[in-house]
């Protein structure tokens, strides 16, 4: 066994250790994709004990998940005392190997401090913030433009998993499922979700165009639910204000993560930008019309068949989101529904 700090060559034929910790603290889309790694490892070794280190926001995606045995919550704002408590909890579990699926310095430090004899990170070319220096092992060099879910599965292959089917599954909370079922029954049909936000400003579309899109879809007889975070409330107000009484239900900032997942399971279509809820919808086997500007849809687009990408045209070497017109999105919606 390699000592800490040494590099160890590992082949895909090595047996999978009994206790594995996955470090993928956030965000929603990234955690959703990373779950495929846990699924592949579980299929390869059914008695595997899987732990997961996560931040508050993405906690509902792993808590109670059938592939995750132990969840370690690192609460934001806990300071040094919170970090020490978090690390102590990790060390007490005595994990055999840690998989750093986040590839930043913070996640690499968590992996390093938890006391496991093996820590696995991305290869040097794909790692960020010199995080590769802190790991005892690295997955083989790979395509940095590959879909993130497939990159996550490379960690499962590194430990010896051979069935790398990119399966995703999200927890079901009974109360959230009942809420979503009642809402869809009230709406009278499976709705289209228009998600009005994006965590990264360059990935956000124009609020007025979201309003026009939602109004037009509603006027064509679709039930529309607006989703997004509390920070998107002003955009939602603009969309609803421009709807002229059309059938638009404003849920922006009003749903928990379990409610959002349960609602998305019942959608007819998702329309929105490159952000976490898009990946949640794709994981729920919902077709997505995904609006992309500067981000790379090959790498971070919705994974799976039937999705339609609306890409902003290039202007002067960049792709600003205001280059996407409403008519182009409406055309994509029709294509996704056909």
Residues forming a β-bridge with 72: 53
Structure tokens at 338: 């056909």
Number of H helices, E strands in the chain: 12, 12
Q: Which residues contact 309 (CB under 8 A, 6 or more apart)?
A: 290, 292, 297, 301, 332
* Cβ–Cβ under 8 Å, residues 206 and 328: no
pLDDT higher at 245 or 90? 90
| pLDDT for res 170 | 96
pLDDT by residue (tens digit) across 51-63? 999 999 999 999 9
Alpha carbon distance, N-terminus to C-terminus of the chain: 56
pTM here is 0.91
Q: What is the mean pLDDT of residues 203-216?
A: 90
Q: Beta-strand (E) ranges in 192-285?
A: 192-195, 224-227, 248-250, 269-273
Coil vs helix vs strand at 97: strand
Residues forming a β-bridge with 315: 318
pLDDT higher at 82 or 279? 279
Rounded Cα–Cα distance for residues 289 and 301 (Å): 10
Q: Is the pLDDT of residue 2 over 90?
A: no
Rounded Cα–Cα distance for residues 194 and 210 (Å): 8
Question: Mean pLDDT, the chain, as a whole number?
Answer: 91
pLDDT by residue (tens digit) across 213-267? 998 999 999 999 999 988 888 767 766 665 555 578 999 999 999 999 999 999 9
Coil vs helix vs strand at 156: helix
Pick from 51, 49, 53: which is nearest to 26 by CA?
53
Q: Is the pLDDT of residue 195 over 60?
A: yes
| pLDDT for res 317 | 86
Rounded Cα–Cα distance for residues 272 and 333 (Å): 11
| pLDDT for res 6 | 44
Q: What is the mean pLDDT of residues 134-153?
A: 95
The neighbour count for residue 249, using CB atoms within 10 Å, is 18
pLDDT by residue (tens digit) across 275-287? 999 999 999 999 9
| pLDDT for res 78 | 79
Angle at 248 between CA 242 and CA 206, to 5 degrees: 50
Q: What is the mean pLDDT of residues 187-196?
A: 95
């Amino acid at each position: 066994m390699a000592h800490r700090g040494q590099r160890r060559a590992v082949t895909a034929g090595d047996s999978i250790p009994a206790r594995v910790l996955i470090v993928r603290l956030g965000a929603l889309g990234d955690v959703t994709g990373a779950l495929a790694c846990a699924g592949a490892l579980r299929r390869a070794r059914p008695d595997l004990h899987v732990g997961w280190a996560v931040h508050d926001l993405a906690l509902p995606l792993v808590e109670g998940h059938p592939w995750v045995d132990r969840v370690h919550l690192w609460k934001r704002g806990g300071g040094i005392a919170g970090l020490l408590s978090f690390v102590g909890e990790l060390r007490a579990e005595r994990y055999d190997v840690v998989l750093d699926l986040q590839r930043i310095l913070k996640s690499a430090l968590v992996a390093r401090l938890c006391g496991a004899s093996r820590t696995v990170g991305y290869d040097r070319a794909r790692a960020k913030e010199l995080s590769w220096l802190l790991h005892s092992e690295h997955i083989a060099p790979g395509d940095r433009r590959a879909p993130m879910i497939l990159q996550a599965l490379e960690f499962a292959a590194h430990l010896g998993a051979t069935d790398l089917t990119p399966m995703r599954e999200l927890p079901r909370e009974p109360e959230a499922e009942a809420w979503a079922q009642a809402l869809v029954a009230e709406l009278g049909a499976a709705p289209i979700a228009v998600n009005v936000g994006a965590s990264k400003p360059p990935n956000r579309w124009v609020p007025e165009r979201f309003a026009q899109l939602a109004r037009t879809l509603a006027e064509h007889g679709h039930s529309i639910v607006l989703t997004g975070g509390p920070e998107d409330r002003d955009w939602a107000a603009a969309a609803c204000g421009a709807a002229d009484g059309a059938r638009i239900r404003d849920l922006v900032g009003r749903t928990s993560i379990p409610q959002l997942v349960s609602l998305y399971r019942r959608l007819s279509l998702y329309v929105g930008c490159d952000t976490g809820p898009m990946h949640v919808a794709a994981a729920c086997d919902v077709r997505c019309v995904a609006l992309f500007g500067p981000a790379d849809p090959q790498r971070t687009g919705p994974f799976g068949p039937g999705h339609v990408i609306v890409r902003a045209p290039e202007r002067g070497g960049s792709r600003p989101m205001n280059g996407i017109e409403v008519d182009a999105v409406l055309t994509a919606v029709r294509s996704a529904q056909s």
